[in-house]
Amino acid sequence: MVAQAFLLSLFLATITLPSPTSAALPFGHLGPENTVLFLNGFHFLSGDTSAEISANHWCAIVSNDFLQCVVYNTATTPVRLAGIEYIISPTAFESLDSEERQLWHSHSYEVTSGFLIEPNMPSTVDHAIMEVLVGTYGKTFHTWRYDQGNSSIPLGIPEIVMGYTGNSQITPDFVTKRDALFGVNTTTIRESRADIVAPKVINGADSWKNGYVLTLELRNTTMNTTFG
């Protein structure tokens, strides 16, 4: 049932999604040709809650329980490919073992708070899609490091980012600037979603709330370089 609702709501997006190229916004390149959903939301760096990131997502359906998104920043022109986010249904998340679950964040608060938005989307379609996304989970890697924002090329090891889960976790001015960029009002969006029921977050997601800091590392080993 969840998977059917997931596909139905996103199908609505495929027939009503405004063309990003028609908006006079400094976002640069369009995402994959099979994109059906354009989202903007907030991330923060695992281990550093002060590292606030506004991210544009172009997402495509892969299966009944799975979306894949390319993530671009909103701070430069032309935009930079910042990373990837995988989005899965609660059914898929429940199938994960405890170690894997640590990598995923919930979307419950992102939806109900109004932080996750669909710029230029008709409100009725937005509401239908958010009713599905509120129960999903995301795993996100940023390949353009937060501390390399002034670099002309992506340097260093990719980073894991997380999502917000409660009030007062993000700087209000950061949200205000995002709203001005897209011409939206997060408070109004939050109020319009007041009837969306946020399901209980499944155990194991949002591991940062338990104090876990997840990082990637470059590990050098040796191997036989002879082919054949």
Lookup result for tokens 């949002």 = 206
Instruction: Please give the full DSSP string across 20-79, using - where no structure is assigned.
Output: GGGS--TT-S---TT--EEEEEEEEETTEEEEEEEEEEEEEEEETTEEEEEEEESSSSS-
pLDDT tier for residue 143 given thresholds of 50, 70 and 90: very high
Q: How far is CA 175 from the centre of its chain?
A: 15
pLDDT tier for residue 6 given thresholds of 50, 70 and 90: low
Amino acid 162: pLDDT: 97
- pTM of the predicted model, to two decimals? 0.86
Domains of the chain, residue spans: 2-16+37-210
Q: What mean pLDDT is reported for the chain?
A: 87
